[in-house]
Amino acid sequence: MDAWDELLRQSLLGTARVAEDLPALPEALDGLLRAVELPAEERLLHAAILLDRYRRLGSLPAPAPSEISTAPPEHLPATSDELAALLRGLLEEDEPLLLAELLRGMAAIPCLAPPDTLPALLDLITQRAELRGPALACGGERLRWLAHQHREWSALVNGAGDDPWLTGDTATRVALLRDGRQRDPAAARERLAAGFGQEAPRERLAFLESLETGLSPADIAFLESCLADRSQPVRLLATRYLVRLGGNPTADTVLGAVAGMMSIHGKLRRQLQIQLPESFEKDWSRFGLREKPGGGEHMGQRAFWLTQWVGLVGPTRLAGLLEVDTGRLETLVGRSDFAKELTASLEESAVVLADTGYADWRLVGAKPEAFINRFPRLGMVLPPSRRDEMLREFLHRQLPRLEPTALLTLVTAVGELSSATTREVVAQFPALCAVLAKHPWQGRSLAQLAHHLAPGEATALEAHCLAQAGLAGVNEFWRRYERRCRIQQALARRVVC
């Protein structure tokens, strides 16, 4: 334990409870403290102040190396002058979203960032870990060499040549797993399974969520093994994946259990008959079910068990189990004694189980307010093209009545809009500005919208923005969108070259 750590320990315990003397300080500081007589608590505080300043200012420069190393040769081509100028400008202006778009585009080409930008790039990835990968790709050998010359930067590249699956943080490893599942699902799963039990619970859950990419019957054996995991959320997600895949003992058990709890009776007025579980069976825990509801789950214990079982099945499978369509299922659930609890469970499970049929049905017939509330969650279940199409149809009808904040919430669920949906937003931009005039505090949401529109509509948008330049957020919106268009054009020209 060094002197600073020992001072911290003594200050936390209190001088009245610490019998030992102050830790050994550097000779210059020790002499200053000995020059005056102070009570124990003041002596400790003075020592902390002196040592803090000494640590900041009192270190001697490291001796110059006898031989100065040089950066290894680069293997990538240099970037274009146009991209270099854009990168310099964005680094000076501290534009994180635009910088991320530019760096990822340059890494995809790939091409090298100009040497004079490397210190700023290293400072950037010190604060923005998610940009480490693109920055390292653009920085090349010289960036790695430069980082090793600076103590605070060296940690950014230490291990950069190692296997990132072994050395990366959780976000990096999740991204690698998703990418691997797209290219070779079996190999990615086997690599995950090799050390899965040694990961922390949160990491195990994050990795298992990534397994959704490329999910197939080939994953069943691994998922069955996850039912013995120590973490309840991991067991629950594995069970949901197994039910989603079907054709395995776990799926059969779950469907059989739900069939024993719910059935339809009556000829003239059909009703959902519910048989609540009498007790919590010990074996249910392996499916990730919990015996007692949490603090925010206000329902009886037996009803809580029922909703968990229903949540494993999801709406479309439950409708098939009861031999009704989705609309009839909603009606029956709505007339039951547990309408609120079952509806919430079914909607939540539709997201986790990627129930596209239910998500599409629920959103197509939704009223505007319900669509705005549900689309950010249920829209993510839909295929990207359908998600974008559904949003475009909604905006065609409702955009003139949408506030910028609500619009931003909807488009964020899609990501970057298609050209067709972007044109719909552009066509109704004057109506959006009319709403903004009534709610000027939402100008920031309008500015953020620029990061979601497809580049290519600059001509039409420029005319609209010039006409509405006095509104809060319009000028910032145009500045960001115009810069995005320039970035994409410069990247396209670099690829052609």
Per-residue pLDDT of the chain (497 residues; tens, 9 = 90+): 577 777 777 777 676 655 567 777 777 676 777 777 778 888 888 888 888 888 777 666 666 666 778 889 998 899 999 999 999 999 998 888 899 999 999 988 989 999 999 999 999 888 887 788 888 889 999 999 998 888 778 877 765 555 667 766 787 788 888 888 988 999 999 999 998 988 999 999 999 999 998 999 999 999 999 999 999 999 999 999 999 999 999 999 999 999 999 999 877 778 899 999 999 998 999 999 999 887 766 788 899 999 999 999 999 999 999 999 999 999 999 999 889 999 989 988 999 888 999 999 999 989 999 999 999 999 999 999 999 999 999 999 999 889 999 999 999 989 889 999 999 999 999 999 999 898 888 989 999 999 999 998 999 999 999 999 888 899 999 999 999 999 999 999 887 65
What's 218's DSSP letter? G
Q: Which residues pair with 264 in a beta bridge?
A: 272
Separation CA 349–CA 308 (nearest Å): 9
**Residue/partner pairs of 276-281 with CB below 8 Å, 24 or more apart:** 276/302, 276/303, 276/305, 276/306, 277/302, 277/305, 277/306, 277/309, 278/302, 280/305
Q: Nearest-5° angle of CA 431, CA 435, CA 439?
A: 160
CB 474 within 8 A of CB 433: yes
Residues 6+ away with beta carbon under 8 Å from 11: 44, 45, 48
Alpha helices in 184-338 (DSSP H): 185-195, 201-210, 220-226, 232-245, 249-261, 301-313, 315-322, 326-334
**Cα–Cα separations (whole angstroms), residue 303 to 342, 348, 431:** 9, 16, 48
Helices vs. strands in the chain: H and E counts, helices first: 28, 2
Separation CA 333–CA 358 (nearest Å): 14
Q: Which two tokens stand for residue 408?
A: 């931003």
CB 122 within 8 A of CB 153: yes
Residues 6+ away with beta carbon under 8 Å from 438: none
133, 136, 140, 142 alpha-carbon torsion, rounded to 10°: -170
Separation CA 311–CA 240 (nearest Å): 8
CB 206 within 8 A of CB 174: yes
Task: Write down the pLDDT at residue 17.
Answer: 59
Separation CA 102–CA 85 (nearest Å): 11
Amino acid identity, residue 247? Answer: G
3-state secondary structure of 272: strand
**Cα–Cα separations (whole angstroms), residue 26 to 52, 136, 141, 163, 182:** 12, 40, 40, 41, 57
Residue with tokens 């830790």: 23
Separation CA 327–CA 26 (nearest Å): 78
Task: Write down the pLDDT at residue 156.
Answer: 75
**Cα–Cα separations (whole angstroms), residue 166 to 195, 205, 309, 354, 394:** 10, 17, 37, 30, 45
